[in-house]
Structure 1
Amino acid sequence: MAVIDKKKTGTVAGQYVSLLLDYLRSRGHSPEALFGAARIAGIESADAPVRLTTEEYFGILDQAVAVTSDPDLGFHAGMLVAPRHLGVVGYVVMCSTKLGEALTQYDRYVRLVHGIGRPLVVRHDDRVEMPLDWSGTSAPPPAFAQLIMTTRARMGRLLTGRETVPLDVDFQFATPRDSDAYHRFFGGKINFAATQTRLMFPADYLELPVIMASAEMARVIGARAEAQMIRLADEPEFMRELKTMLTQGLAIGHIGAVDIAQRMGISSRTLHRRLSGYAYVFRDVLDDVRRERAESYLAQSQHSLAEVAFLLGYTEQSAFQHAFKRWTGMTPQRYRVGSAPK
């Protein structure tokens, strides 16, 4: 059974859970018989789909592996992924112009899909790595690692229409019996029993055009995603207070979870627990505050980039520039030019 790290507590959207349910049905199993008709109806409701806790989600994943006797369940289920399994986020990324923009948009709205970690994109010159964001003390469950890597690859191909683009993958679990299937699907170098689970590809893949790109639909669907983000977080008093404390902390250089929790009069453990209830982790909220302040500062031309980096609590301007591009898909310089009064 999967052991859930406390940092992974959060919620998972019903649409994402339905990917596992679709796979169970493809193998001749009834999710209704396994988990109860009422529960499945709630998960798959188009009007008001439920959100499961991470623990509940991993429970379904464990049971799916057990009932199918499929050690490669995540790999096989991931091949079935479609935009609908990501809810509104699936349609946001479909409207993006390029693959790099789609990844940026997915990072922005990933909490609408699940709260199990962000889709990190790390660029090394001409190579890009997408490690599995997993902070547990042990390796992620094989089925989950398979699912994440396979769905990333499949969605990238659906977005770009490039079915034969080779991708390199490292998995932490041992070599499976049918390792050739992994090689055929990903098309690149596959390493098992690796030290980290990650997907890798040439950086120029980020420039691949998305075949269904639409600026008009991007605005419409993006607005819907933003509304869902607001409903998900609901900005309770706790979140407003936290963001205020973080904004103040940026000015004095004290933005660690322990420092902020102390200023709020709670323990850091309580801080993380309260955040998980809103499908957030501390880093995400800090990123949101920094992004909001960065956009405000960049609109004020009197602040140099080095000054903005300092005001946001970065010790290096390059670290700020890297973070801003991850948030927005553009450099601070480009954003400043675009936001300048016409």
Structure 2
Amino acid sequence: MDPKRNSISAHYLDSICQGAARRGLSADSVRAQAGIPAELSPQARLTSDQFSRLLLDVFGRADDEFLGLTDQPCRHGAFVMMAKQAVMLDDLRQVYQHIERFYRLVTRDLNFALRVDAGEARFDLMLERPQLDPQATLREFYLLLMHRFPSWLVGKRIALRRVDMAGDEPAHADEYGLIFGQPGQFNQPSSALVFDSAALYWPVVQTRESLRQHLDDAPLTWVTRQQIYPTISRRVRQALRQTQPIGSARIQAVAAQLHMTERTLRRRLADEGTAYQDLKDQVRRDYAAQRLAQPHVLMADVAGELGFSDPGAFSRAFKGWTGQAPRHYRGDR
């Protein structure tokens, strides 16, 4: 499991904490709610679970889906309202036009615009006060969201030609390939997703029922490697999270819980582009990161809970998952 493909740069943590502070939240409380160590190593990467909890905390306690990075907050629940209308539309063009109109009604701080020219569709994002988003965190997050959510609605990934960004190339530019599948193009007139305009005719295939589950899993579904129909993967992760200790989980037991044979489970997961061991490692990684955020927890205890024979084996596995040894991850000296 490539640690970078299954984690998020800690660079975003500082930016989100700064925005949260504008809404009256302390950095310490934001970190604690997300299960992120107070002395996180500068080279550490956040798990998708930590980043999801970070977003949910700021959305909820600050009541701001713009993460404190605009002049006025965007009240929590705005995205859900937009999504419930979007799932009832006919095709991708209508979805992007709806997003443009919706955010024009709810805010003056962030604007979208769909432009089509010579076979190329461009979905622009502009901030009224970009100086409030100096590290482009809000722009990157909403471009990610406006790529992944419409892709989910039409049931297939929108292949991007480019990702344009206003402003200079940042130190974390390598993240763009992981986030969007394309390197960023910087110092552009505006920030935008650029793709083949033929995709605008793709029909919306999701339903209000599937949207309900999608929103229940959000924002985790937005910040993990995208699977358009991750039904079995989601159920396996749920079963693994409910198994205590996690290290005792066996595929035969999980398959039985899902009322299928082991062979069928492996095949269904392969169809979704994943495997049982990858999902188990993801759940163990998230659990380990959460436990290591507690300063007095012993690594030997975490290793045992995750099914490792000794702390050394756990340390090697954790480094494979996150790119860092456990003691470096939580800033132990």
Which structure has more helix as a fraction of its residues? 1
TM-score normalised by L of structure 2: 0.39
